[in-house]
Chains A and B, each alone.
Chain A
Amino acid sequence: MSARELIELIGPLFIFIGTIFTFLSAIGLIRLPDVYTRSHAASKSTTLGVLCTLFGAFLFFVITEEFVSIRLLLGIFFVFLTAPIAAHMICRAAYRSNVELAEQSVQDDLKPFLKEEGMKDQV
C-alpha cells in the first residue's frame, strides 16, 4: 500500500469512528431507564459521531478532489451549535410536563425550587 493510499484512508477512518459512536448512542437510547438519561446518551454521543462523520467527509473531499467544502464546515458548526440546545429544550419541556425520573434517581434538586416559585402549577 502506497503512502498516497494511506493518506486517503484518513477520511473513511474518521467516518468509521463516527458511525461507531452513533451506534453506541442508539444502544444507550434503547437501554437507559428514563427520558433524561436517554437524552444524555442521544445528544452527546450522536453529536460527536456526526461531527466525526462530517469531518471525515470534509477530509475526503479535500484530499481526493482538492475541493474545500464550506457547506460541510458550516454543517459541522451548525450541528455542534444546535444539537445540545435542542436536547436542553426537550429535557426542560419533559420536566415541566411532569415526566417522572427513573427509580434509581437519588436526588431531585429542581423540584423544591419549582414548588417554592409555584411554577409547577402553571404548566
Chain B
Amino acid sequence: MFDVMLYIALLFISFAMVGLVYRVIKGPSVPDRVIALDGLGINLVATIAILSIILRTSAFLDIILLIGILAFIGTVAFAKYLEKGEIIE
C-alpha cells in the first residue's frame, strides 16, 4: 500500500522532470532555461526524499539540504551574470 503510493508519486515527479527538460531544450530565452534548471534541482530534492523512504534509510537526508543550497547558489550566480555580465565584481 505504502510502496505503491510512493512509486506512483515517483512516477508523477519523473513526468514533471521530463516536462522541465523539454523546457530546458526548447526554451526560447536563456532565463527560461535557468528557471527550468532551478525547478529540476528542486524536483531532485523531492525525488531523494521519496527514494530515502522507499529504501527505509535516513542516510540521504544531508543530500537534500546540499542540493537545495547548490541550486540556489547556481541560480543566483547565473541571474547576476545575465544582469551585469560578470559574477564577482
Contacts and interface: CB of A to CB of B under 8 A. Distances in A.
Interface of A: 5, 8-9, 11-13, 15-16, 18-20, 22-23, 25-27, 29-30, 35, 38-39, 42-43, 46-47, 49-50, 53-54, 56-57, 60-61, 65, 67, 69, 71-72, 74-75, 78-79, 82-83, 85-87, 89-94, 96-97, 99, 123
A15 B46 CA distance: 9
Contact of B78 (A54, A65, A75, A90): A90
Secondary structure call for the B interface: helix
Given A54-B45, A93-B83, A26 B65 contact: no
A51 to B, nearest CB: 9
Nearest to B20: A26
A43 B22 CA distance: 17
B72 A82 contact: yes
A99 B50 contact: no
B8 A61 contact: no
A72 B35 contact: no
A91 B76 CA distance: 11
Interface in B24-79: 29-32, 34-36, 38-39, 42-43, 45-46, 49-50, 52-53, 58, 61-62, 64-65, 68-69, 71-72, 75-76, 78-79
Output the residue of B16, B72, B80 with the most chain A CB within 10 A: B16
Contacts of B15: 23, 26
B15 to A, nearest CB: 6
